Amino acid sequence: MSIVVQKYGGTSVADIERIKYVAQRVTRAYDQGHDVVVILSAMAGVTDHLIDMASQASQDPDRRELDVLLATGEQTTSALLAMMLKSMQYPAASLMGYQADVVTDCEFGNARIIEIGGGRIKELLQKRNIVVVAGFQGCDIRGNITTLGRGGSDTSAVAIAAALKADVCEIYTDVDGIYTADPNICSKARKLKEISYDEMLNMASLGAKVLQIRSVGFAKKFNIPVHVRSSFSDEEGTMVISEDSGMEQLVVSGVTHDKNQARITLKKVPDQPGIAAKIFSPIAEAGIVVDMIIQNTRAEGQTDLTFTVPTGDYAKALALEKRIAEEIGSEDVFGDENIAKVSVIGVGMKNHSGVASIMFTTLARENINIAMISTSEIRISCIVEEKYAELAVRVLHSAFGLDAE
Amino acid sequence: MSIVVQKYGGTSVADIERIKYVAQRVTRAYDQGHDVVVILSAMAGVTDHLIDMASQASQDPDRRELDVLLATGEQTTSALLAMMLKSMQYPAASLMGYQADVVTDCEFGNARIIEIGGGRIKELLQKRNIVVVAGFQGCDIRGNITTLGRGGSDTSAVAIAAALKADVCEIYTDVDGIYTADPNICSKARKLKEISYDEMLNMASLGAKVLQIRSVGFAKKFNIPVHVRSSFSDEEGTMVISEDSGMEQLVVSGVTHDKNQARITLKKVPDQPGIAAKIFSPIAEAGIVVDMIIQNTRAEGQTDLTFTVPTGDYAKALALEKRIAEEIGSEDVFGDENIAKVSVIGVGMKNHSGVASIMFTTLARENINIAMISTSEIRISCIVEEKYAELAVRVLHSAFGLDAE
């Protein structure tokens, strides 16, 4: 008998009928003899509806109170599933974040889990209950309701799985697994049987929005196998596991693209200590996340500096940098919104040379110019013109032998 | 500086605009220097919507889980009001039942308050916060969410007022006070300036549905003045206070009627010990509340026994009694749904004789036959034909000098 944690996303609990379907799947695992803990999201659309309501109440809703409001979404689905299970004659109980001892910091709206007691969950499991835990929510040490940010239910699930030393954390979603590329733009993309935590971390941050990235970090830290699968079929999905677990290590496991990127260049920046801080501190203070930073050497004690930000923050960042450029004596500031980041990811890269070379040659063959390059141990990313993003993904997918038969 | 507890019902928080209006009223009291605690109901209609959702999830929704679901209603309005107050630059915080230490028994759906810690509320008040507490909900000693039954927010408000030793508990509702009779049927009904707890207890149970009866019991026990008033005007409403507080003691303060009554008579019941238990135990076990019971003496060791039940339980009760009548050898069972209970209530009755006489004479003058009579220290109730209910209220209202000028 093993402990199985199942997490169902918003589309899987979108209405009463869907929740009934979830109840059937949950009881099937229970009937197989597993201890089952279920983590639920709010019904699809409900969180947005609540945020809309809050914005009618206040132009800038207080974050503590917004969390109190948002937490009702998962409370609703959890209560509904638990009452359904009970009417099917299964012992079940719902627990809110605070009841399940999901203790977080005080960062309302984007809280981080500090620890999960899990005592109440374990006690209920010992009595062979199905335990339904409201995802996305926790409480701080003072008992205030907190929420974990968009996709936070994934993190709830993995963290609870870790606290219970669960055998597997199943993430039921509206896709059937992790693909080698976005099937919408690459028809030859195929589902991966396995992927490592590190690859998934790179996938998630690069735009494959299947799992909240924080949940993958948790899974890696506590070595919890995460099974990403569809709530609409019985097919096996993709296992996210440790690369030490004997998994097949592909040189490249996936090709991702992210069009939500914009580039800003400061030309002829004086090459002095402290300049980078002057350029990036105001951006950080404005809450803008900088992704890639490239600094080119130039003659005469000057340098060109280029970085990328999310498209939504482009205008704000550009305005900030124009002010800064004047202060530090940079010659010019210009930017480009029509860019995309294309990346190849694979743990096998660590032991294979030539991946970068294949990537650059493949893009060159299609006359796709590379504007910026950044690399990590298991990833190579190139900034290209936005209009080439799809083509780049397809040709790289073929070049690295990922195409489905 | 005094502590003021304000409770707003469902129609007062029916939408964002109404809640804004509540925010203005709350801040006015705060600006006057009071410590303000606000208790909120769910938006009008929301609780019914949630119950409907539950009935789609389960034919017989588990009571624990139903409470988890229902508690979201008050959670929503409390968060919205608190964020509104904060955006108006007032320090404010919402507290759910468990956060405000509203400890109840485990009777899900109809829990009773055992104690209210109030520590967190007091702490927030000391920092001059406006404290918004979700009404209707509490938690049992295990931390399970409980609800207090229909109208439970009134009880939340009065109990919290008692715990804080508040100076007044203001109940804002969609009527502007307690009337001497239902203004819909008695045009000469007028608003009472004051009413005693005991009179209110009798009013509430007899159909004047302004306050949850349990809240009045709490108010009496802890001697909390309750001000029932309209959330749509600034007019003074009705103070519910102790009759020892020097209030004017009217002989009759009000005339009420209740059409939700049905009568069942068992004819020629053997007059033996234990017979009443045989007749009423099955009714109680079926969860049916018996109101009046009248037993007439008859000759030959036999008696006629008549009692009233709510109309909704009439068919069930009649069926039960037909079975019982056969068992105990009663000659016949018959009933009547077309009855109404008309009552006159007043603490002054204790010191005045002749109230019953005036009541009977007045009804007789209109040819209204009295089918049953029951009395208490401060109340006389008569069962009459339903069609005479309105007429009875009007003539009694005049006879006891209650008519408005």
- Who among A71, A80, A93 is closest to B57 (CB)? A80
- Give the pLDDT of residue B208: 60
- Give the pLDDT of residue A351: 80
The percentage of residues in chain A with a pLDDT greater than 90, rounded to a whole number, is 75
Looking at this protein, which amino acid is placed at residue A199? E
Among A56, A63, A65, A144, the residue to mutate for chain B (most B Cβ within 10 A): A65
Q: Give the pair of three-digit tokens for residue A34.
A: 């597993």
- Whole-number Å distance between alpha carbons of B207 and B204: 6
Q: Do B86 and A58 touch (CB under 8 A)?
A: yes
CA distance A148 to chain B (A): 18
- Give the pLDDT of residue A1: 65
Angle, to 10 degrees, between the axis of helix A197-205 and the axis of helix A213-222? 170
- Give the pLDDT of residue A296: 77
- Who among B79, B98, B144 is closest to A68 (CB)? B79
Find the mean pLDDT for residues B292-318. Answer: 86
Q: In which band, very low, low, confident or very high, does the pLDDT at A2 lie, cut at 50, 70 and 90?
A: very high
- Give the pLDDT of residue A214: 87
CA distance A16 to chain B (A): 6
What is the overall mean pLDDT for chain B?
Answer: 92
Report ipTM (2 d.p.). 0.84
Per-residue pLDDT at A207 exceeds 80: no
CA distance A68 to chain B (A): 6
- Who among A16, A58, A144 is closest to B83 (CB)? A58
What is the overall mean pLDDT for chain A?
Answer: 92
Find the mean pLDDT for residues B12-37. Answer: 97
State pLDDT tens for residues A83-124: 999 999 999 999 999 999 999 999 999 999 999 988 999 999
- Give the pLDDT of residue A248: 73
Q: Collect all residues with Cβ–Cβ distance below 8 Å to B111 and sequence separation of at least 6.
A: B67, B104, B105, B138, B140, B146, B147, B148, B149
Tell how strand B137-139 and strand B145-147 pair up.
antiparallel
Question: Between the ranges A24-28, B231-235, B239-243, where is the mean pLDDT highest?
Answer: A24-28
- Give the pLDDT of residue B1: 65
State pLDDT tens for residues B99-127: 999 999 999 999 999 999 889 999 999 99
Q: Which of residues 63-82 of B touch A (CB under 8 A)?
A: 64-66, 68-69, 71-72, 75-76, 78-80, 82
- Give the pLDDT of residue B247: 72
Residues of B in contact with A83 (CB under 8 A): 54, 57-58, 61-62, 65-66, 69
Q: Do A69 and B75 touch (CB under 8 A)?
A: yes
Q: Do B16 and A56 touch (CB under 8 A)?
A: yes
State pLDDT tens for residues A146-179: 999 988 999 999 999 999 999 999 999 988 899 9
Q: Do B54 and A83 touch (CB under 8 A)?
A: yes
- Which of A16-30, A284-298, A312-326, B141-155 bottoms out in mean pLDDT, i.e. has the lowest? A284-298
Domains and CATH numbers, chain A: 3-174 (3.40.1160.10), 255-399 (3.30.2130.10)
Q: Collect all residues with Cβ–Cβ distance below 8 Å to B39 and sequence separation of at least 6.
A: B5, B6, B7, B8, B133, B134, B135, B153, B156, B157, B160
B218 vs B34, B157, B158, CA distance in Å? 23, 10, 7
- Who among B56, B98, B144 is closest to A16 (CB)? B56
Secondary structure, 3-state, chain B? CCEEEEEECHHHHCCHHHHHHHHHHHHHHHHCCCEEEEEECCCCCHHHHHHHHHHHHCCCCCHHHHHHHHHHHHHHHHHHHHHHHHHCCCCEEEECCCCCCEEECCCCCCCCEEEECCHHHHHHHHCCCEEEEECCEEECCCCCEEECCCCHHHHHHHHHHHHCCCCEEEEEECCCCCECCCCCCCCCCCECCEEEHHHHHHHHHCCCCCCCHHHHHHHHHHCCCEEEEECCCCCCCEEEECCCCCCCCCCCCEEEEEEEEEEEEEEEEECCCCHHHHHHHHHHHCCCCCCCEEEEECCCCEEEEEEEECHHHHHHHHHHHHHHHHHHCCCEEEEEEEEEEEEEECHHHHHCCCHHHHHHHHHHHCCCCCCEEEEECCEEEEEEEHHHHHHHHHHHHHHCCCCCC
Q: In which band, very low, low, confident or very high, does the pLDDT at B277 lie, cut at 50, 70 and 90?
A: confident
- Give the pLDDT of residue B376: 86
Find the mean pLDDT for residues B187-191. Answer: 93
- Pairwise pLDDT comparison (B282 vs B38), residue with the higher score: B38
CA distance B393 to chain A (A): 45
Tell me if chain A has a CB within 8 Å of the CB of B275. no
State pLDDT tens for residues A273-320: 888 888 999 998 888 989 888 887 766 778 888 999 999 999 999 999
Buried b (16+ CB within 10 A) or exposed e, A9-19: bbbbbbebebb
- Give the pLDDT of residue B69: 98
- Pairwise pLDDT comparison (B375 vs A57), residue with the higher score: A57
Per-residue pLDDT at B353 exceeds 90: no
Residues of A in contact with B96 (CB under 8 A): 68, 145
Burial of A304 (0-12, 13-18, 19+ CB in 10 A): middle
- Who among B57, B69, B82 is closest to A62 (CB)? B82
Q: Please list the residues that pair with B381 across neighbouring strands.
A: B343, B374
- Pairwise pLDDT comparison (A404 vs B343), residue with the higher score: B343
Q: Do B69 and A76 touch (CB under 8 A)?
A: yes
Q: Give the pair of three-digit tokens for residue A316.
A: 């704000």
Per-residue pLDDT at A205 exceeds 70: no
Q: In which band, very low, low, confident or very high, does the pLDDT at A324 lie, cut at 50, 70 and 90?
A: very high
- Whole-number Å distance between alpha carbons of A302 and B377: 98
Find the mean pLDDT for residues A192-201. Answer: 92
Find the mean pLDDT for residues A334-339. Answer: 94
- Give the pLDDT of residue B91: 98
- Give the pLDDT of residue A151: 85
Residues of A in contact with B56 (CB under 8 A): 16
DSSP A96: -
- Who among B68, B75, B143 is closest to A79 (CB)? B68
* CA trace torsion A230, A231, A233, A238 (10° rounding): 30
- Give the pLDDT of residue A304: 86
The count of other CB atoms within 10 Å of the CB of residue A292 is: 17
- Give the pLDDT of residue B241: 94
- Whole-number Å distance between alpha carbons of B124 and B130: 8
Q: Do A72 and B69 touch (CB under 8 A)?
A: no
Looking at chain A, which residue has its C-alpha nearest residue B82? A65
Q: Do A69 and B79 touch (CB under 8 A)?
A: yes
Q: Do B62 and A86 touch (CB under 8 A)?
A: yes
- Which of A75-79, A211-215, A223-227 bottoms out in mean pLDDT, i.e. has the lowest? A211-215
Tell me if chain B has a CB within 8 Å of the CB of A58. yes
Residues of B in contact with A60 (CB under 8 A): 87
The percentage of residues in chain A with a pLDDT greater than 70, rounded to a whole number, is 98
Looking at this protein, which amino acid is placed at residue A101? D
Report the alpha-carbon angle A331-A334-A336, nearest 5.
160
- Give the pLDDT of residue B246: 73
B44 vs B108, B135, B177, CA distance in Å? 22, 14, 20
- Give the pLDDT of residue B24: 96
Q: Do A57 and B94 touch (CB under 8 A)?
A: no
